A and B are shown apart, each in its own frame.
Chain A
Amino acid sequence: MTRLLRNLGVLALERLASLGRASIIWAQSVWGLPRAGDLSLLIRQIYNIGVLSLIIIVLSGFSIGAVIALQFYTQLSRFGAEDAVGLGLALVLLRELGPVVTALLFAGRAGSAVTAEISLMKSTEQLSSMEMMGVDPLHRIVAPRLWAGLICMPILATIFNVVAIYGGMVVAVEWLGSDAGSFWSGMQDAVELWEDVGKGMIKSVIFALVVTWIAVFQGYDSEPTAEGIGLATTRTVVLSSVVVLALDFLLTLGMYGDFK
């Protein structure tokens, strides 16, 4: 029993120390920008993190939009309410699925790549050599990736939403024959700029902050071995996914008020 308590204590202290290190790294990195000459580093990371994630975001967005429209149409048509497919699709995407699925895809594509890159740089002493040259790797390596993630994720979520709505439209209107006017006007009537689009974007910014923070910290704090890199990359994806889903629940509770 004593051993169990001691082990739990050690684990809790380790997690706390890890959170402390992560906070210091985040604060020192964010403090580092913007500086003259950093723009090119930022643009390069926006390309690596954002532009290279476009394909997976577009393909997934289209598929998810199409599937949701299919399910909505099947269920709603039983009550003769197939005109509501557009508004249902838009609300689900803008409020929940857009930010959440984009964050999950982002963690799998860009987050894991960032972790692997930073931990490989650590294991090959590139970060150490940078430090010894008087260049702070937190400013040079970590900060551009953090900022690029923060900039890219809301844009990717917006693209995801647009493509998903298009995918839903293709299924509901073009394929299943739902009325195009009802599809778009239902959406226009129900969607509010702040309540749906704005709050969805806020979620996306918060997820961006969390996922990129986890990704850079896992890379920076990894064991400099082959196994360490693998573990760090896995931890980024698993931890990001769990935290994003848990945070989404809390944010929805906080943003959309009284559910009872």
Chain B
Amino acid sequence: MTDETFIEINDLHFSRGARKIFDGVSMRIPKGRITAIMGPSGTGKTTLLRIIGGQVKPDAGEVIVDGQDVCRMSRDELFEMRKHIGMLFQSSALFTDLSVYENVAFPLRVHTRLPEDTIRDLVLMKLNAVGLRGARDLQPSELSGGMARRVALARAIALDPGLLMYDEPFTGQDPIAMGVLVTLIKNLNVALQTTALVVSHDIHETTSIADKLYVIADGQVIAEGSPEALRSDNSARVMQFMHGSPDGPVPFHYPADDLLYDVLGESAA
């Protein structure tokens, strides 16, 4: 493995209405490694993946993926770039009118002119890699949440992408499915030498496979480094997140008037 940078984000700014999502975020995602982006819900982790994939345009800043600035790409260039990116969506996003087999075959059919025999072999290999070769004839509606996510993973790796992005891959999974996904993400990274970007707030699972972590909160990167370095980070915000404390710099209560005043009104004064 090298320390070559695959994704470089410089001074990224993005707002949604009056709310600032990113306020000067900069990151370096190393090639061929697993990098995790963590942070509390609503901090824009999924938005960051969409910005990297060119689905959302930032207000300012640079997003360079494999040497190309995503923000300056034309629509056609973006679609060309995305052929080399695999993304696992939180909802799996399988095509509901296609079987498991056809879902995995979809990118191969659209982007290649391979003969049907070769497509069949590739689909079965990808499905075998996620342990679902036997489920090839099922419809997405017949799959459990964990199985659907594994099929989506097989589809994401169908074209052997250089970058795999995982959007909350562990959310809503039972412990067995979660363990399977953790192993799969790690094994795929080793086997395919793919750069992996995992967005998650599941600390235990993510730190067990990530080579590098970024923690974002309040629109900024508040910490970065190896999992060990972040576990021993003394800053209050990082400690609260890494140890899952309910109260701290990120308050438990949504901003509101004093409880007594709220309940009793003027008489409390």
A contacts, CB < 8 Å to B: 124-126, 128-129, 131-136, 140
- Report the interface size class on chain B: 20 to 34
Interfacial residues, chain B to chain A (CB-CB below 8 A):
50, 53, 55, 75, 79-83, 85, 87, 89-91, 93-96, 106-107, 110-111, 152, 155
Contact indicator B89/A133 (Cβ below 8 Å): no
From residue B150, how far is it (CB to closest CB) to chain A in Å?
Answer: 15
User: Nearest chain-B residue to A127 (Cβ)?
Assistant: B93
Give complex CA distance A39, B55 in Å: 28
**Smallest beta-carbon distance A109→chain B, Å:** 19
Q: Are B106 and A133 in contact (CB under 8 A)?
A: yes
Cα-based distance from A247 to B55 in the complex (angstroms): 36
Q: Which residues of B contact A134 (CB under 8 A)?
A: 79-83, 85, 107, 110-111
A sample of 18 inter-chain contacts (CB < 8 A) reads A124-B91, A124-B93, A126-B93, A128-B50, A129-B93, A131-B53, A131-B55, A131-B79, A132-B82, A132-B87, A133-B83, A133-B110, A134-B79, A134-B82, A134-B85, A134-B107, A134-B110, A135-B110
**Nearest residue in A to B85 (C-beta to C-beta)?**
A132
Residues of chain A within 8 A of B82, CB atoms compared: 131-134
Known: A134-B80, A135-B110. A129 touches B87 (CB 8 A): yes
Q: How far is the CA of A225 from the CA of B94 in the complex (A)?
A: 18
Contact A126 B96 (CB under 8 A): yes
CB distance from B81 to the nearest CB of A (A): 8
B53 to chain A, nearest CB (A): 5
C-alpha gap A129/B88 in the complex (Å): 8
Q: Which residue of A lies closest to B95 (CB)?
A: A126
Q: In the complex, what residues of B have CB within 8 A of residue A135's CB?
A: 79, 107, 110-111
B107–A133 contact, CB under 8 A? yes
- Most-contacted residue by chain B among A125, A131, A132, A140 (CB, 10 A): A132
A129 to B107, CA, bound (A): 11
Contact A129 B79 (CB under 8 A): no
**A129 and B110: CB pair below 8 A?**
no
Judge whether A129 and B83 touch: CB under 8 Å.
no
A93 to B107, CA, bound (A): 47
Cβ-defined contact, B93 with A128, below 8 A: yes
For the complex formed, measure the closest distance between the CB of B146 and the CB atoms of chain A, giving whole angstroms: 17
Measured in the bound complex, the distance between the Cα atoms of B75 and A133 in whole Å is 14
Neighbouring B residues of A131 by C-beta, 8 Å = 53, 55, 79, 82
Let me know if B55 and A136 touch, CB within 8 A.
no
Which chain B residues lie closer than 8 Å to A128 at the CB level?
A: 50, 55, 89, 93
**Known interface pairs A133-B82, A136-B79. Does A125 touch B110 (Cβ–Cβ under 8 Å)?**
no
* CA A167 to CA B227, docked complex, whole Å: 77
Given contacts A131-B82, A133-B111, 17 further A-B contacts (CB under 8 A): A125-B89, A126-B93, A126-B96, A128-B50, A128-B55, A129-B152, A131-B55, A131-B79, A132-B82, A133-B82, A134-B79, A134-B81, A134-B107, A134-B111, A135-B79, A135-B107, A135-B111
| Cross-chain contact B55 with A129 (CB below 8 angstroms) | no
In the assembly, what is the distance between CA of A140 and CA of B97, in Å? 14
Output the nearest chain A residue to B106 by Cβ-Cβ distance. Answer: A133
Of A124, A125, A129, A136, the most chain B CB neighbours within 10 A belong to A129
- Residues of chain A within 8 A (CB-CB) of B95 are 126
Q: What CA separation (Å) do A132 and B52 show in the bound complex?
A: 10
- CA–CA, A233 to B55, complex, Å? 25
| Chain B residues with CB below 8 A from A125, complex form | 89-91, 93
Q: How far is the CA of A23 from the CA of B94 in the complex (A)?
A: 29
